[in-house]
Structure 1
Amino acid sequence: MGKTAIILGATGLTGGILLRKLIDDENYSTIKLFSRRTVGIKSSKIKEYLIDVLALKQSAKDFTADEVFCCIGTTTAKTKDKKLYKAIDYGIPVTASKLAKQHNIATFIVMSSMGADAKSAVFYNRTKGEMERDVLKQSIPNTYILRPSLIGGNRNENRVGERIGKAIMRIINPIMIGNLKKYKMIYPEKIANCMHFLANTNTNTNTNTTILTSDEIQEISNSITS
């Protein structure tokens, strides 16, 4: 019997790529997706739960698996209401971590962001930092927090500022070396590769918490695809 994975955010850019990787991986027999809408992919491995993810705790009985991949996230441009923003970027991952703890799920991998800091004066960074802090409070044996920089790739959304930022980053990426490497734009394929690798790497039996910066995510992905 293969492993069971939960993906939150499978309809997003990184989550969608990760989903396809798990479908192709013979180690997985079941992939549970919790989201508001279907991913539109046919696979015998997929089990979809179409729910209000802001009320994830109502699906506690179904939240059983070997691993949880949390790829949930929004932007201040897309979600201008700060209360709703925090409910998404903080509330969903923290609720998921509590459910994982409740069901003794040993591996929890969550996407955060570069600059996450619970004490930051910047709302975006503070929200991510508070999320990290409260996920870590659950003491899930294998917890991985990924802090990517600006994520490249094409989204089906009109984010003018983000498009401009990506265009600039594509130009300056080659000259960002040394301590600047962690600020380089990273592509969702690299993040998905890293998440997949971490979930399938032998880990210690004791609590193993790892926070990975963007350049470290890139290095792990490059090491397994080279």
Structure 2
Amino acid sequence: MEMRSAIVVGATGLVGSTLVKQLCESDEYVAVTVIARRALDYSHPKLVVRIKEFDALAESDMEFAHEIFCCLGTTIKKAGSREVFEKIDVEYPVQIAAMAKNRGIQHMIVISAMGANEKSFAYYNRVKGKMEKELIDIDLPQLSIVRPSLLVGNRSELRIGEKIGAAVLAVFNPLLIGPLKRYRSIKAEQVALAMIVIALYHKNTKLAIYPSNELAQMTPPELEEEPEMKREDLFNWNKLQSGNVLDEEVTFDKSKIKQYKVERDTPKD
């Protein structure tokens, strides 16, 4: 597999920070560029961090990469208003997607949410649905939308509602079977891993949407072990056993060696 480069936007969040570490530790990626509004608490020889306000982001700030991962997302409480919330969750991803397309980046993998639907009665799901629709309308070469359920992990900020929800689902997850599997909580590390698996191995789908239960099952394919070379495979012993002899020209012959030494030591006219 060819060595790859990636861009990550939204690298300071729960999934984004985990994704950056996994990309840097992956043998398949040789370069990882992060576009962020502040510095990261993580460094790696493969990693380049570009500090940039998204309102001032230009195409020239975005070099070519094989994939761009968009992990942008916030809450209304943290954003302070619906206007700011929609700017972060809709406007920025759409602007970044358009720039990526113009820069020749072939694949965008973006985090949405379970239940995303622009016609939903729930405001949050409606905003995520709007983001998905506008990204689809851009007509990217390849777009992968991941829809995780409630994310589990150590956030830098405290979200009481998510803490309670995660505690409840930790008890009920085993009871959610069949069609209800999609409602199980999912670890941020697994979502990040699933995004990398999608980038590396899901090549032929122009548009794909992955629900949480599918993300939970994604792992890199196991590499096939090369069969151990047996001694009998290294040399065909049957030829000797059948009475065949080696080619006369390469048969070890001491007399030829003596003849060669005489010819070599005999002075020439």
Q: Do the two structures share a fold, i.e. TM-score over 0.5?
A: yes
The 8 Å contact of residues 54 and 88 in structure 1, kept in 2 or not, is answered as: no
- Is contact 2:114–2:211 with CA below 8 Å preserved after alignment? yes
Q: Number of aligned pairs? A: 220
Shift, 1:121, TM fit: 2.9
Distance in 2 of aligned mates of 1:139 and 1:72: 20
- Give yes or no for contact 1:69–1:108 (8 Å, CA) kept in 2: yes
Alignment-derived partner of residue 24 in structure 1 = 25
Larger radius of gyration: 2
Query: Cα deviation per residue 1:114-151 (whole Å; 9 max; x = unaligned)?
Result: 11111223221111001001111122222110001110
Contact 1:63–1:103 (Cα < 8 Å) also in 2: yes
Residue aligning to 1:61: 60
Q: Which moved more, 1:208-217 or 1:70-79?
A: 70-79
Distance across 1 between alignment mates of 2:16 and 2:30: 18
Partner of 2:172: 172
Aligned-pair distance for 1:14? 0.9
| Equivalent position of 2:47 in the other structure | 46
In the alignment, which residue of structure 1 is the partner of 2:103? 103
Structure 2 CA distance for aligned equivalents of residues 97 and 71 of structure 1 = 12
Q: CA RMSD in A?
A: 1.7
Instruction: Judge conservation of contact 1:13–1:155 (CA < 8 Å) in 2.
Output: yes
- Please say if residues 197 and 220 of structure 2, whose CA atoms lie closer than 8 Å, have aligned partners that are also in contact: no
Q: Which residue of 2 aligns with 1:72?
A: 72
Deviation at 1:223, TM superposition (A): 7.1
Matches within 5 A, 1:4-23: 4-23=5-24
Cα 1:202/1:83, change in 2 over 3 Å: closer
Q: 1:170 to 1:12 in 2, by over 3 A?
A: same
SS at match of 2:194: helix
Give the TM-score taking structure 2 as reference length: 0.77
- Structure 1 pair 176/202, CA: closer, same or farther in 2 (3 Å)? closer
Aligned amino acid, residue 218 of structure 1:
A
Counterpart in the other structure of 2:229: none
Match of 1:3 in 2: 4
Where relative contact order (Cα < 8 A, 6+ residues apart) is larger, the structure is 1
1:119 & 1:22 partners in 2: Cα distance? 35
Secondary structure of 1:73's counterpart equals coil
CA contact (8 A) 2:8 2:68 kept: yes
Match of 2:76, SS state, is: coil
Distance in 1 of aligned mates of 2:171 and 2:220? 21
Residue number in structure 2 paired with 1:199: 199
Q: Any idea what the Cα deviations from partners look like across 1:40-77, whole Å, max 9, x if unmatched?
A: 32222111110112433x3x112121110011111233
Shifted more, 148-157 versus 46-55: the winner is 46-55
Distance (whole Å) between structure 2 residues aligned to residue 120 and residue 104 of structure 1? 33
1:202 CA displacement = 5.2
1:168/1:202 Cα in 2 relative to 1: closer, same or farther (>3 Å)? closer
Give the 4+ runs in structure 1 shifted more than 4 A: none
Q: Classify the secondary structure of the residue corresponding to 2:138.
A: coil
Rounded to whole Å, the distance in 1 between the matches of 2:34 and 2:93 is 14
SS at match of 1:17: helix
Amino acid at match of 2:62: F
Could you tell me which runs of 5 or more consecutive residues in structure 2 were left unpaired when the two chains were aligned: 223-269
Q: CA deviation at 1:27?
A: 2.3
Aligned to 2:248: none
